[in-house]
Structure 1
Amino acid sequence: MLGGVRLSDAFIARSLDEIMFWSRIMKEHSLFLKLGFNCDDTELIQEADQFYQVFEAIGNKAQSFSLQTDPQQIKQFNSEVHQAASMIWAYKRKILNLLLTCKITGNNFPLLVDHTSREAAYFANRLTELNNGQLQPLPAAIIQENVFFLRIMADHAKFIGHLLDPSERKLVDQAREFSHDFDQLLYQAVDLESMRPQSETVPILDQFLDENRVSVKSLRDFKKTARDLIEACRIKSIIHPLLADHVFREADRFLHIIDAFEAQLTGNGNRNIVLDDH
């Protein structure tokens, strides 16, 4: 039992939650990368289309499972999805190499491609952890997870600042401020990581999560406002409406993870087995 929940139920719920969330993210990455290629990058475009279909199928298959599914079947599914996540990671690193060696051009920032590859690696690693029985966040994982997501949030702020029309001066300035804020939070998290294991105390981790939560909530709300304005065609940008929603969902996900870590620290760690409603 895990906080009143059977281990098998927790394993299934968390596995399906990770797959439902991240398979959608991977599917959308495929679309965004495709849109950023030049029209003559036909092979890369075809590969992007294939990955879109792969992760769409994975998301659909995940919806066919329930808590009554045999845990061994879920473990096998995790392994299959891990392979797909590893393959899209390799595809993204190939694109990054082509960009950095000037063999292709287009509208995909190298940092954006690296960013998406880090998320693919995170997804694959999370599936490995689940199959190895790691359901509870360890103190080290709390710090490492925040390092990962704080960098993701800092990247998002930079991308938003670059993709807004320069005439949207106030929004561009806000994005730059968020970029600076999350760079500072990231540096603090890296410092905390280097102080491990001595930094893995409940008071320090609790303060760490509280400080991050305040900034993530502000960024999440900014992304929601930007998404709504983009969808209503009220601001000028080259941000795809789906991309605006994509980065909003990732910030919202991070908030759920912070809350889950906080609950774990305070002894209420399993009140939310599934982190997101997607």
Structure 2
Amino acid sequence: MGMSDAFVARSLEEVRFWSRIMKEHSLFLRLGFRCEDTSLINEANHFYAIFESIEARANAFTGGTDPNVIKRFNDEVHNAVSHIWLFKRKVLGLILTCKLPGSNNFPLLVDHVSREANYFRNRLTELNTGTLEPLPDAIIDENVFFLRIMADHAKFISHLLDPSERKLIDQANHFSEEFDKLLFQARDLESMRPQSQTVPLLDQFLDQNRVSVKSLRDFKKTARDLIEACRIKSIIHPLLADHVFREAEHFLFIIDMFERSLTGRPFQAERLDA
């Protein structure tokens, strides 16, 4: 695969995945607003429509699309992501200054979705400028980012389950503690670089994270299936349950790609069908 082909394939992969995530963030934020927050609801609906359109256009492109077309598309998507990031930070500010009493969006959730928008925006910049991080830096930075995302997910699940679902809440809290520890370990490795960036240490780092992410992914899949079947009590939207499951799958895919690049070993990405 040539450089231009790789650029197109990687760009479409990122935009297809993250535009759907941004679209769903718009829905989740809207569901958390109070009925009188009509201006915020309209803004959320506006962003939902924007990213639904971006997702459809990204799915219509093929690997043979002119790289210059994709580069312009990435710039356009970057602009949209910058605007939704600003919207999310505005909402966070309103919540933290008690301007939206009684709304159902946790401040951490709003911060979480804004971090994902910022991540997406940075990925588009890296792709368009061709300034991808060296592999050892990328391994640490991506894991620091996604381990925090996974820890957040466990906390959200715990807080959105009905208080009577004691067993599931215990499991979610266990995952929250586990991923907090993994995140601290990743930050320790981060502060020890470049000396920490040996192949054996990075390989062990990926292996350890993979085991935990697989366990969390499986828990999320079970929770999603139970929610869809109306078998547990919660205020979790079925789409949110599927959303966090897909992000765990995405993280596993990234870990497997890093493993292959680091060691040269082929991998079989173990994906659970949605």
Normalising by structure 2, we get a TM-score of 0.96
For residues 159 and 24 of structure 1, the distance between their equivalents in structure 2, rounded to whole angstroms, comes to 20
Give the Cα–Cα distance (whole angstroms) in 2 for the partners of residues 159 and 271 of structure 1: 30
Identify the residue that residue 161 of structure 1 maps to in structure 2: 158
- The counterpart of 2:3, out of the listed 3, 7, 22, is 7
1:109 corresponds, among 101, 106, 109, to 106
- Counting only pairs closer than 5 Å after superposition, residues 206-217 of structure 1 correspond to structure 2 as 206-217=203-214
2:175 aligned partner: 178
- Tell me, which stretches of 5 or more residues in structure 1 are unaligned? none
Q: Residues 19, 48 of structure 1: CA spacing in aligned structure 2 closer, same or farther, 3 A cutoff?
A: same
Deviates most, 129-138 or 112-121: 129-138
Corresponding residue number in structure 2 for 1:22: 18
**CA distance, structure 1, for counterparts of residue 211 and residue 88 of structure 2:** 32
Tell me if 1:55 matches 2:51.
Answer: yes
Tell me how far 1:135 sits from its aligned partner: 5.3
Specify the code of the residue in structure 2 equivalent to 1:83. N
Q: Which residue of 2 aligns with 1:190?
A: 187
- CA deviation digits over 1:207-249, x for unaligned, max 9? 0000000000000000000000000000000000000000000
Alignment match of 1:92 (pick from 71, 88, 108): 88
* 1:63 aligned counterpart, secondary structure: helix
Rounded to whole Å, the distance in 2 between the matches of 1:102 and 1:277 is 41
Q: Does 1:66 align with 2:49?
A: no
Q: CA deviation at 1:137?
A: 5.4
How many angstroms apart in 2 are the aligned matches of 1:157 and 1:210?
20
1-side partners of 2:197 and 2:160: how far apart?
Answer: 38
Secondary structure, counterpart of 2:60 in structure 1: coil
Question: Which deviates more from structure 2 when the two are superposed, residues 228-237 or residues 136-145?
Answer: 136-145
Match of 1:82 among 59, 78, 83: 78
CA–CA separation in structure 2 for the residues paired with 1:154 and 1:44: 28
Aligned with 1:162: secondary structure?
helix
Alpha-carbon distance between aligned partners in 2 of 1:60 and 1:25, rounded to the nearest angstrom: 13
Q: Which residue of 1 aligns with 2:117?
A: 120
Mapped contact 1:137–1:261 kept (Cα < 8 A): no
**Alignment coverage as a number of residue pairs:** 272
Task: For 1:100, give the aligned amino acid.
Answer: L
Q: Is the 8 A contact 2:256 2:267 kept in 1?
A: no
Larger CA deviation: 174-183 vs 129-138: 129-138
Question: Cα distance, 1:28 vs. partner?
Answer: 0.2
Seen in structure 2, the aligned counterparts of structure 1 residues 42 and 189 have a Cα distance that, compared at 3 Å, is same
Could you list the runs of 5+ residues in structure 2 that have no partner in the other structure?
A: none
CA distance in 2 between partners of 1:80 and 1:270 (Å): 34
Structure-1 separation of matches of 2:264 and 2:187? 26
- Partners of 2:72 and 2:265 lie apart in 1 by 30
Root-mean-square deviation (CA, aligned residues, Å) is: 1.9
Greater relative contact order structure (CA < 8 Å, 6+ sep): 1
Query: In the alignment, is the contact (CA less than 8 A) between 1:216 and 1:251 conserved in 2?
Result: yes
